Amino acid sequence: MDKFRLIPPQASTSAHQIDWLFIALVAIMLFFLISVFFPITWFAIKYRSGSDANRSNPSHGSNLIEISWTTLPIVLSVALFSWGAVAYYHIERPPPNALQVQIVGKQWMWKLQHAEGKREINELHVPLGQPVALTMTSQDVIHSFFVPAFRVKQDVVPGKYTSEWFKATQLGEYHIFCSQYCGTDHSGMIGRVVVMEPVAYQRWLTAGEGGESIVVSGRRLFLDRGCSGCHAVNSKFHTPLLEGLFDKPVPLSSGEIVKADEQYLRDSILLPGKQIAAGYDNIMPSYAGQLSEEEIMQLIAYLKSIGDKTSP
């Protein structure tokens, strides 16, 4: 890891894709750099003031040149756009069977929790050859989760969930950087990804103080923080049931219809007055400042887990 190299190791499925795109961009740029700057230099010398170059019969335009320098860049840029769009589509959409890891960035460390409950700081253990999806947020300023060897980099923004995913293809340890300047110790906000054999990963995951899974922690919070008292069939308040809610369309009192994604659930808990479910009163208290980012993620994981059940 300490020797000098131009390109980081290619340790994930998207690494080759990104590198080829990058190499193609550099090659095209070099081609145009050479084909423009060599002639400029050559003509500047040939037609310098006082030289006896032949200046009779200057060119007054050429359709061939006009057409080709219009169409060639169009074809090239559309091709590059399509290539980039395909790569982006691939990078932005985790496969459905991906392992879930929750990440909270803060000045100046990464706090991570695996779905099974295992927690880590500045380290991320993952199994070889399995897709891993990260859901990330920040509890203070904007950070960015960057693993050069996997070619993934994504801003981590307070008040918002962002995600990225990768599938590691090589055993080993790789750098994690924060790639968004975030204050005094930004440069110390580094860590490592450890790619393990799946069997070793399972052993690691279940070793030591296992703790409870994220969904179980979320369920405990749901009971302890009084959510369950209101959001129940026999509640004394008129409240929506949360079973079957996740990923479904929700009609709002404003007439809008939004999808109950993670961001919607988050806002419902912290800013209940922002989007009111149609047919209900704005009586839900805000939990802003009362739950840590980790706890909010756990609650959401719980709401997602009961989200599969069909609506009552």
Q: Which of 111, 192, 220, 225 binds ligand HEC (CB under 6 A)?
A: 225
Residue 225 interface partner, choices Cu ion, ligand HEC, none, CB cut-off 5-8 Å depending on type:
ligand HEC
Residue 8 interface partner, choices Cu ion, ligand HEC, none, CB cut-off 5-8 Å depending on type:
none
Q: Which of 231, 294, 297, 307 binds ligand HEC (CB under 6 A)?
A: 231
DSSP secondary structure letter of residue 280: -
Q: How far is the CB of 219 from ligand HEC (least distance, A)?
A: 11
Helix (H, G, I), strand (E, B) or coil at 22: helix
Q: How far is the CB of 217 from ligand HEC (least distance, A)?
A: 13
Decide if residue 148 touches ligand HEC (CB under 6 A): no
Residues 6+ apart with CB under 8 A from 304: 246, 262, 265
Decide if residue 147 touches Cu ion (CB under 5 A): no
Give, as ranges, the residues between 189 and 228 that touch Cu ion (CB under 5 A). 189
Burial of 180 (0-12, 13-18, 19+ CB in 10 A): buried
Q: Which of 88, 237, 247, 286 binds ligand HEC (CB under 6 A)?
A: 237
Structure tokens belonging to residue 171: 């055993």
Structure tokens belonging to residue 8: 């980081």
Residue 143 interface partner, choices Cu ion, ligand HEC, none, CB cut-off 5-8 Å depending on type:
Cu ion
Residue 250's Cβ-side half-sphere holds a number of Cα atoms within 13 Å equal to 25
Binding region for ligand HEC (CB under 6 A) out of 49-57, 121-129, 162-170, 280-288 = 280-288
Binding region for ligand HEC (CB under 6 A) out of 2-10, 30-38, 160-168, 265-273 = 265-273
Decide if residue 250 touches ligand HEC (CB under 6 A): yes
Decide if residue 126 touches ligand HEC (CB under 6 A): no
Query: CB neighbours (10 Å) of residue 94?
Result: 19
DSSP secondary structure letter of residue 277: B
Q: How far is the CB of 280 from ligand HEC (least distance, A)?
A: 4
Nearer to ligand HEC, 122 or 263 (CB): 263
Nearer to ligand HEC, 67 or 288 (CB): 288
Query: Measured in whole angstroms, how far is the alpha carbon of residue 21 from the centre of its chain?
Result: 19
Q: How far is the CB of 103 from Cu ion (least distance, A)?
A: 12
Element (H, E) at 114: strand 109-114
Contact 160, 151 (CB under 8 A): no
> How far is the C-alpha of 199 from the C-alpha of 206, rounded, in Å?
11
Residues 6+ apart with CB under 8 A from 187: none
Give the x/- contact pattern for ligand HEC in 289-308, rule: CB under 6 A: ----------x---------
> How far is the C-alpha of 258 from the C-alpha of 262, rounded, in Å?
12
Between CA 44 and CA 51, with CA 46 as vertex, the angle to 5 degrees is 110
Decide if residue 268 touches ligand HEC (CB under 6 A): yes
Q: How far is the CB of 104 from ligand HEC (least distance, A)?
A: 18
Nearer to ligand HEC, 98 or 291 (CB): 291
Contact 273, 281 (CB under 8 A): no
Nearer to ligand HEC, 145 or 287 (CB): 287
Between CA 105 and CA 114, with CA 110 as vertex, the angle to 5 degrees is 105
Which residues are near ligand HEC by CB under 6 A?
Answer: 225-227, 230-231, 237, 239-240, 242, 245, 250, 265, 268-269, 272, 276-277, 280-285, 287, 299
